[in-house]
Amino acid sequence: MAKQKIIYDCDPGHDDAVALMLAANSPELELLGVTVAAGNQTLDNTARNACHVLQWLGREDVPVYAGCGQPMVRDRVTAGDIHGETGLDGPVFPPLRKTVEREHAVSYLSRALLASEGEITVVTSGPMTNLAMAMRMEPGVVEKIQRIVLMGGSYTNGNVTPAAEFNILADPEAAHVCFTSGRPITMIGLDVTRKVLCYPEIVERMAKADTRASRLFVDLMKHFCKTQKEVFGWEGGPLHDPVTIAFLLDPALVATKPMNVRVDLSRGDSYGRTNCDAFGYLGLPATADVAVDIDAERFWDLIEAGLRRYGGTEADA
Ligand code: BDR
Ligand code: CA
């Protein structure tokens, strides 16, 4: 069967890094390119982190494109409290050989999508600035997007404000552009990603895989779980972003419900909230399939299988 082509747009970020691990060696996916935006940290940091992770994984051949360093309208917010000063605090990487492509991420997204025949899924796990900008600059890309699978939003509580989740709050206007694009969207929000908490026993289990990917996973999770505990009191950090890739590998993993989703752009207390009409009160057409449940055991099996597919040495990292 043909591999599913994806472009992965992210802001690494500890959980973005784990998603990259899963995407970069899956037999079912063809990772065409990685685009990065400012989000968890500044653009310089997120671009460097994407390169470090791909180099560590032995996938220097996957191009990394740096995109927008600022949201479309609002001022930039970062998540240093969770991901640290570098955006990927914890692991110690070898000197970086891999470089970022010269082409801007928005230009790459436009070029790749326009040249496609509608077979590319765009996965986003950071603020949606790059994708929204591509849609605005080249409206022709919209119909070329097979679908958008995003980590972001929540129909319950947020994680930066009571109302809003980080990826949406970091660029609500960009999320609005994407949610109103008319393309098929699967929204993987906090409602399900908070069901995959990376408890210490999960970290121990992954450590046993003893591959270069699992060693990176352990180093990442040590930092991530510590800050998640400090900020939210969780005993295990919610592994948000890899749910997007796990869902592509096994769609039955996540239960979804079609809903009308509107991003609150009002600049009040609920700025950046994804208002999801779960009960269809508004009588409006559904604009996204919203994740409502996840098989957590199966998720961890997929993560472990992904980590085990990597070799054991770091010789080429
Ligand atoms: C999202 O925010 C970021 O900090 C994580 O990488 C994830 O994409 C969770 O709200
Ligand atoms: Ca992210």
Q: Which of 159, 167, 192, 195 to mutate to test the pocket of ligand 1 (most atoms within 8 A of CB)?
A: 167
Closest residue by Cα to atom 10, ligand 1, is: 166
**Residue bearing the bigger pLDDT, 234 or 211:** 211
- Which residue ranges have their beta carbon within 6 Å of ligand 1? 13, 15-16, 40, 79, 82, 125-126, 151, 159, 165-167, 240-241
Structure confidence at residue 81 (pLDDT): 84
- Number of Cα atoms under 13 Å in the Cβ half of residue 55: 16
Distance between Cα 136 and ligand 1 center (Å): 24
Mean pLDDT of the chain, nearest integer = 96
Distance between Cα 92 and ligand 1 center (Å): 21
Mean pLDDT of all residues in 226-254: 94
Distance between Cα 237 and ligand 1 center (Å): 11
Q: Which of 10, 11, 161 to mutate to test the pocket of ligand 1 (most atoms within 8 A of CB)?
A: 11
Residue-level length of the chain: 317
For the segment 81-123, what is each residue's pLDDT rounded down to a tens digit?
Answer: 888 899 999 999 999 999 999 999 999 999 999 999 999 999 9
Atom of ligand 1 nearest to the CA of 10: 8
- Number of Cα atoms under 13 Å in the Cβ half of residue 227: 19
* pLDDT at residue 48 tops 60: yes
Distance between Cα 35 and ligand 1 center (Å): 16
Hey, which residues are catalytic here?
A: 11
pTM for this one?
0.96
Atom of ligand 1 nearest to the CA of 83: 4
Closest residue by Cα to atom 4, ligand 1, is: 40
For the segment 160-193, what is each residue's pLDDT rounded down to a tens digit?
Answer: 999 999 999 999 999 999 999 999 999 999 999 9
Structure confidence at residue 228 (pLDDT): 86
* pLDDT at residue 31 tops 80: yes
Q: Where does the pLDDT of residue 316 fall: very low under 50, low under 70, confident under 90, or very high at 90 and above?
A: very low
